[in-house]
Amino acid sequence: MEKSPSVATWFLMGFVAFPVVTLAHECGHLLIGYLFHWPGPALHYASASFADEEEVQRLINSSDFTYAAKIHPLWQVALSNIAGPLVSVLIILGTAIWTNWRGPQPLTLALGFAAAGRFVAPLATGAVLLLRWLLSVHGPFHPTIDEYSCGLHLGVPPAMVIFLSLTAAACCLFWLLAGVWRRELRWPLTVLVTGITCGAVAYFYFLGPILLP
């Protein structure tokens, strides 16, 4: 009979998974920049940057799309924006396929749940956009999430990009959850989520800034 993973294993996999999926997400952004030969590519612990990124974003926020496009074609910038969320969705999808095929495993579930946690920010941003629409608020609003920036650069409503991203992530997450449904994993999953949370805190506040400032 196969031995069940220990509690420590569930926690450790959750702890390790968060930095892994975060860097994978950021590498998605970085890859697009490399493909289009953007100057000054750099990978940080929670972002990927290029030499002229801040200037492009400043021009976009000021609605100077023409000048921003002279630095980089806006469709390329939009592709870079959405590449990170796409990587996160693919991670959830891959873990869902594996879990439904081979059964729940600590590392697989940890990667899937950690990647799904990334979509909390787009969900919150979407809720704010909906509230602003309901209250007819038209003041400046410049969230820094990838989906919102992608919408701006493509010239489409950012809420639409957020909705599509959340829908894709939710569908993959539900498929992943289907692989653990009706299994006695309540305690292991609780430990796993605790490990992911601790990994996020340790990575964002301690390990990340030291390793990849």
**For the chain, domain boundaries:** 7-211
Residue 167 has pLDDT above 80, yes or no: yes
Percent of the chain with pLDDT over 70: 99
Instruction: Express each pLDDT in 72-119 by its tens digit.
Output: 999 999 999 999 999 999 999 999 999 999 999 999 999 999 999 999
Q: Is 162 exposed, middle or buried (0-12, 13-18, 19+ CB in 10 A)?
A: buried
Which has more pLDDT, 54 or 195?
195
The model's confidence at residue 182, banded by pLDDT at 50, 70 and 90, is confident
Q: What's the confidence (pLDDT) of residue 66?
A: 86
Cα(193)–Cα(195) distance, rounded to whole angstroms?
A: 5
User: Which 3-state string (H, E, C) describes 122-165?
Assistant: HHHHHHHHHHHHHCCCCCCCCCCCHHHHHHHHHCCCHHHHHHHH
Q: What's the confidence (pLDDT) of residue 3?
A: 73
The model's confidence at residue 1, banded by pLDDT at 50, 70 and 90, is very low
Q: Are the CB atoms for 7 and 193 separated by under 8 Å?
A: no
